[in-house]
Chains A and B, each alone.
Chain A
Amino acid sequence: MGVNKFIKSVLGALNLKEFELKSKKKSLKTLLSKLKKRRVKIYKELKKEKSVQEIEELNEKLELISLHIKNGKERLNALKKPSKKY
């Protein structure tokens, strides 16, 4: 058995590839929860009295966060289906 084949079989036997995938999923979930908390904070900020410029800046942040959350969720779903590559 070649060295590469041996390493692959050990990785397979120890489920290390699965471990890497799980670690990525966990990171994505943690980041998504942080982003959601940040979005709530911005919503609360928007309810306070602000200048037009401040409101514009907060809305821009909100838009970017929502985009990250949407993309993050899509990537998480893709990770749950290992056959699909994203």
Chain B
Amino acid sequence: MLTINSIKKGIVIDHIKAGCGIKIFNYLGLDRADFRVALIMNVESQKLGRKDIIKIENVIDIDYTVLGLIDPNITIDIIEDEKIKEKIKLKLPEKVVDVIKCKNPRCITSIEKYIPNVFYLVDEVKGEYRCEYCDEVHTLEEAEV
């Protein structure tokens, strides 16, 4: 049994879909961290079967918006004195800029690369976003975070 100690002050990113932990780890630049970080993969979970967890022993600024796009089921616990001070439930943002890309081959963003990729939330349940320029609706899986 692998044991990771609890942290005194920092952030726990929990309920990450198994296999997505490394994506978040890389997105947050934790490979360059000079503080203690643990990426735990394939932990048993009642809700998910298996899940990934990231424990960060530091207080860092996190763009929760992007984490919501990667996986809206993720939970974030803010830890102080080894206790959960705050629980943050992610939800999909109304507008996202330069996080997902339009997959419509007829969209102007497919040829003019300087344009910011702007999307608006259409359906929170299905995770669907509409491109600002061509109006094409994509699911997050299609749009590639």
Are A and B co-members of a single complex?
Answer: no
By a beta-carbon cutoff of 8 Å, the part of chain A in contact with chain B is none
By a beta-carbon cutoff of 8 Å, the part of chain B in contact with chain A is none
